[in-house]
Amino acid sequence: MHRKASLVLEDAVRNIYTVVAFCAGNKVMELYRLQLRKIFTKSFLHGMAIGFGFGLSQFLLFACNALLLRYTSVSVKDGRLTRQKALKEYMVFSFATFALVEPFGLAPYILKRRNTLTSVFEIIDRVPKIDPDDNSGLKPPNVFGSIELKNVDFYYPTRPEMMVLSNFSLRVNGGQTVAVVGVSGSGKSTIIALIERFYDPVSGQVLLDGRDLKLFNLRWLRNHMGLVQQEPIIFSTTIRENIIYARHNATEAEMKEAARIANAHHFISSLPHGYETHVGMRGVDLTPGQKQRIAIARVVLKNAPILLLDEASSAIESESSRVVQEALDTLIMGNKTTILIAHRAAMMRHVDNIVVLNGGRIVEQGTHDSLVQLNGLYMRLMQPHFAKGLRQHRLA
């Protein structure tokens, strides 16, 4: 009932700098008063009903106790009951009355929250289609790293009307590095989500070494994949804990070597507490470049045979771009199977194949030089002056 009024305040607090900058405090308060005015009568009647119900339940409770006490005392006086028996029956009846009457006082609150409780129990009772705790499935001793998306159709469960990938096919050989570029909404990040098996395709198959991902044990599968996301995930603990999150049994030397490969050891060592430095909530005390290098160090330490990089350098400030780029270059130059989503031309020169997506389909494919000569969508996406605008709009 108060949801709209609460949203006004939540927006104001979340965007407090904008509110203050535009001197819109009075406007926010007026909007809040307006929303409260709309629900005032309904809230008043609702409160009166709850108060009346609670008062009635308490009246019945104490009235029953008073009547029982009166009856017991008269019975003892007339000799129909002994004091011990009267006290025992009074206590039993008193507790029974309390148990019967008290729920009436809670009824308004139960009714108010019934929809919430229903949705909570629906979530608790829901059986996930992809169960991470399922111990069944294949666990091969070796992974060659060949990945294939075969005639895949996919839409997100919350938006079934929008097909993200349509009859999509892509093959990445073991040890190969493939870059995926395209406009916003073309399905780039969806490819990684399907390979990590966050979702299953609506139709078609996602294969690892020629076998459907559904046949593999899910924990085993994800343990053989290293993921670096566009917005690096940093936990509110020490830098050490953030790096060894990938492999808790890693030695000190292995952790520091991973940080060196990710170009993170120097800045970590310069901090007052080094690797024991607490980074704050979501890494708020670090720059985007520092957070990204810690995320890269985490993946280096995991040493998975398959690397998935989702625009890992897109949100880095210019002064950190070079060191992050060097770390990513080092990361993808190994013999691992790598799927890279990026729009920086510097990274495209180190990959074996580039796939250009638009509307959930492959529209161009080849090496960096061949696609530049083609002078198509890839060329326009790589041009600094036009890339940002093009990526914000799906091209026909």
- The pLDDT value recorded for residue 211 is 93
Residue 79 has pLDDT above 70, yes or no: yes
What pLDDT digit, counting tens, does each position of 100-111 carry?
A: 766 666 666 666
Residue 149 has pLDDT above 90, yes or no: yes
The confidence band for 146, taking pLDDT boundaries of 50, 70 and 90, is very high
Least-confidence region, from 235-239, 293-297, 339-343, 387-391 = 387-391
8 A C-beta contact, residue 254 and residue 301: yes
The Cα angle at residue 70 between residues 69 and 73, in degrees rounded to 5: 80
What pLDDT digit, counting tens, does each position of 296-314 carry?
A: 898 888 888 998 888 765 5
Question: What does the alpha-carbon distance between residue 189 and residue 205 come to, in Å, rounded to a whole number?
Answer: 17
The confidence band for 153, taking pLDDT boundaries of 50, 70 and 90, is very high
What pLDDT digit, counting tens, does each position of 217-268 carry?
A: 988 998 898 888 877 778 878 899 889 888 888 899 999 998 998 888 988 9
Q: In angstroms, what CA-CA distances link 289 with 8, 273, 286, 292, 293?
A: 34, 19, 8, 5, 6
Residue 86 has pLDDT above 60, yes or no: yes
Tell me the average pLDDT across 195-208: 92
Least-confidence region, from 19-28, 186-195, 335-344 = 19-28
Question: What does the alpha-carbon distance between residue 247 and residue 255 come to, in Å, rounded to a whole number?
Answer: 9
8 A C-beta contact, residue 353 and residue 176: yes
- The pLDDT value recorded for residue 213 is 92
Question: What does the alpha-carbon distance between residue 127 and residue 142 come to, in Å, rounded to a whole number?
Answer: 31
- The pLDDT value recorded for residue 284 is 59
Ranges 85-94, 96-105, 296-305, 323-332, most confident: 296-305
Question: What does the alpha-carbon distance between residue 203 and residue 166 come to, in Å, rounded to a whole number?
Answer: 9
Nearest CA to 191 out of 214, 217, 171 is that of: 171
- The pLDDT value recorded for residue 395 is 44
Q: Spelled out in words, what is the top-level CATH class assigned to the domain 130-224+304-396?
A: alpha beta
Residue 112 has pLDDT above 80, yes or no: no
Q: pTM score, two decimals?
A: 0.68
Tell me the average pLDDT across 371-377: 86
8 A C-beta contact, residue 268 and residue 239: yes
Give, for 182, the enclosing helix (H) or strand (E): strand 177-182
The domain ranges of the chain are 3-123, 130-224+304-396, 235-287+295-303
Backbone angles phi, psi at 181, to 5 degrees: -125, 160
Residue 345 has pLDDT above 60, yes or no: yes
DSSP structure class, residue 283: G
Residue 336 has pLDDT above 80, yes or no: yes
